[in-house]
Amino acid sequence: MVMPSANDVLSLDADQLVHVLQGFGEPAFRARQLFEWLWRHDASSYQDVTVWSRPLRERMSQAWPIRRAVAVQTQVGVDGTTKLLLGLSDGQRVETVLLPHPYGYSVCVSSQVGCAMGCTFCASGLNGRIRQLSAGELLEQVRYAEMILKPSGQHVRRVDVMGIGEPLDNYANLLKFMRMAHHEAAFHLSYRHFTVSTSGLVPAITQLANEGLPVTLAVSLHAPNDEVRRRLMPVNQAYPLAKLIPACDDFARRTGRRVTFEYLLLKDVNDSQQLAHELAGLLAGRLCHVNLIPWNPVAEHDWTPSPMSTVRTFQRIVQDQGISCTIRKELGQEIDAACGQLRLREEESLSL
Ligand code: SF4
């Protein structure tokens, strides 16, 4: 059993908690109690775990302190979108967004502090990858969303691992997070209600398909050929479309889940009618869905968003080939909504 480093109790799964508590001579059911107190009852210290004796609480406080994230900033949009900037125990910051939908709420969580992938349209990767988020730090983002919803009696329905970072570059923690969030003593979320995004790390897509979990895979495609994609995404050098598309087909075949291809539209870069036809040709007959994303301008990059009329024409061409294709509704546009913007703004204001 690989235990988390630095006595990170929030990253212990239910089996690991049994192991820790047995080390203190405690029965296994104490582990279940603690798991519930951490993720269902928001215990911020062992003093909250009132079903335990004081000596046990004190021993655990010494050995496995609870280090919660703290909300540094909260922005609420007119449509109910809530954007959180969470402070982690080492002072790093991470963004989480709670989004209202007709079916309920989803939470978009970050998987890393910064990102190493260097996509040329994105604010998150500007300073590179600073560090991985632990499983506990991923869970903390869902717990904050749950805390916001608690007064209304609602719960998080979907988790999209689509915030800052490349989730498949933090594979072990991602998997552990999903398994812990799925646990009935934590958030009891169905695997079908997770979406994992990737810029296209082919070996990890295959590894995820091997897990046999019915999660949705969302692949940032953004171009129907290598020439255009290479300009936007350095990852295309290592994993060109000839490798990426078969890996997506394999994922869809083995999980029975259609793959979502994300396509950000940038004026005069990847939004022509010719490229729409090329995209339709690439994806025809595949178990997939295309999600067109109007680009949110980022001051640090000088691309221009495609006009809405161009986005609609692009959609119609793809749909006319029988491919499911939607345009992503932009929520919370007035609140630094592009991924990475809240954290960047805060860093800038700190450095003034
Ligand atoms: S788009 Fe995603 S993978 Fe690409 S740099 Fe931004 S956070 Fe990283």
pLDDT by residue (tens digit) across 260-304? Answer: 999 999 999 999 999 999 999 999 999 999 999 988 887 777 889
Average pLDDT over residues 200-229: 97
pLDDT digits (tens, 9 = 90+) for 39-52: 999 999 999 999 99
Check whether 310 has a pLDDT greater than 60: yes
Looking at residue 78, which CATH number applies to its domain?
3.20.20.70
Round to whole Å and give the CA distance between 318 and 275: 10
For a mutational test of ligand 1's pocket, the pick from 199, 205, 239, 298, i.e. the residue with the most ligand atoms closer than 8 A to its C-beta, is 199
Q: What is the pLDDT of residue 300?
A: 75
Specify whether 291 is located in the same domain as 196.
Answer: yes
Average pLDDT over residues 69-94: 94
Q: What is the pLDDT of residue 98?
A: 97
Cβ–ligand 1 distance for 236 under 6 Å, the answer: no
| Residue 91 covered by a domain | yes
Based on the structure, what is the number of domains in the chain? 2
Cβ–ligand 1 distance for 344 under 6 Å, the answer: no
Of 63, 88, 103, which residue constitutes the final position of a domain? 63
Q: What is the pLDDT of residue 331?
A: 65
Query: Which of 17-31, 182-196, 243-257, 288-302 is predicted with the least confidence, judged by mean pLDDT?
Result: 288-302
pLDDT digits (tens, 9 = 90+) for 98-115: 999 999 999 999 999 999
Cβ–ligand 1 distance for 178 under 6 Å, the answer: no
| Residue 1 covered by a domain | no
Specify whether 76 is located in the same domain as 219.
Answer: yes
Q: What is the pLDDT of residue 332?
A: 60
Q: What is the pLDDT of residue 352?
A: 35
CA 198 to ligand 1: nearest atom: 3
Check whether 346 has a pLDDT greater than 60: no
pLDDT band, very low/low/confident/very high, at 334 (cuts 50, 70, 90): low
Round to whole Å and give the CA distance between 150 and 205: 35
Q: What is the pLDDT of residue 337?
A: 46
Round to whole Å and give the CA distance between 205 and 251: 7
Q: Residues, the chain, total?
A: 352
Specify whether 152 is located in the same domain as 19.
Answer: no
Please classify residue 259 by burial: count the beta carbons closer than 10 Å to its beta carbon, then call 0-12 exposed, 13-18 middle and 19+ buried. buried
Average pLDDT over residues 84-94: 95
Of 47, 63, 79, which residue constitutes the final position of a domain? 63
Domain of 24, in residue numbers:
9-63
Of 26, 36, 95, 262, the active-site residue reads: 95
pLDDT digits (tens, 9 = 90+) for 141-175: 999 999 999 999 999 999 999 999 999 999 999 99
Check whether 254 has a pLDDT greater than 90: yes
Specify whether 170 is located in the same domain as 281.
Answer: yes
Specify whether 182 is located in the same domain as 152.
Answer: yes
Check whether 69 has a pLDDT greater than 80: yes
Specify whether 196 is located in the same domain as 219.
Answer: yes
Q: Is 95 a catalytic residue?
A: yes
pLDDT band, very low/low/confident/very high, at 5 (cuts 50, 70, 90): low
CA of 343 to the centre of ligand 1 (A): 14
Check whether 347 has a pLDDT greater than 70: no
Round to whole Å and give the CA distance between 206 and 250: 8
Looking at residue 35, which CATH number applies to its domain?
1.10.150.530
Specify whether 326 is located in the same domain as 246.
Answer: yes
Which long-range contacts does 170-177 make (Cβ < 8 Å, 24+ apart)? Answer: 170/111, 170/112, 170/132, 170/133, 171/204, 171/207, 171/208, 173/11, 173/111, 173/132, 173/133, 173/134, 173/135, 173/138, 174/111, 174/138, 175/211, 176/11, 176/13, 176/135, 177/135, 177/138, 177/139
pLDDT band, very low/low/confident/very high, at 76 (cuts 50, 70, 90): very high
Q: What is the pLDDT of residue 108?
A: 96
Q: Is 108 a catalytic residue?
A: no
- Spell out the residues 6+ positions from residue 160 whose beta carbon is closer than 8 angstroms to its own: 106, 107, 108, 109, 194, 195, 197, 218
Q: What is the pLDDT of residue 351?
A: 40
Is the CB of residue 95 less than 8 Å from the CB of residue 343?
A: yes
Of 63, 84, 107, which residue constitutes the final position of a domain? 63
